[in-house]
Amino acid sequence: MNLTIANRQRTHKIKIRVLREITTVLLAELAGPAASLEINLVSPAQMAKVNQRFLQHEGPTDVITFDYREAGADAPLQGELFICPAVAVAQAREFGTEWRSELVRYVIHGLLHLLGHDDLTPGPRRKMKQVEGRWVRTISRRFALSKL
């Protein structure tokens, strides 16, 4: 398993060691030992640039996923996530949750996309949200997310 986490933002303190432990568990459970993942924690300005450049959407968003496996290849998971902690803080306020829990949700959400889940239409979106919610609860029971 190959996991790289780069904290490219400075406004929200995140314990990378804890995020690494959480993500390692998720990768082992969901993707297997040959998985390769890079996580970039970025500022709203950096996220807006990635969002505009690759998705032609304006402004920052929560998570953007890049799948680096060749199309149709039955290869191990190989991808990259861009996650914006500032968006996690804003979403947590809106939904009455804790921002660190939102951050973990974004990691899970990105991994689910890399595993083939889709949220573009209502049916698959509902199923993806159910799976996402189960994993957030599982991780919340295994780790003290307040220490993230």
- Spell out the per-residue pLDDT of the chain, length 148, in tens: 999 999 999 999 999 999 999 999 999 999 999 999 999 999 999 999 999 999 999 999 999 999 999 776 678 999 999 999 999 999 999 999 999 999 999 999 999 999 999 999 999 999 999 999 999 999 999 999 999 9
**pTM of the prediction?**
0.95
User: Order of strands, edge to edge, in the sheet holding 2-7?
Assistant: 2-7, 36-41, 78-83, 63-67
Q: Which residue ranges form the domains of the chain, and what is each CATH number?
A: 2-147 (3.40.390.30)
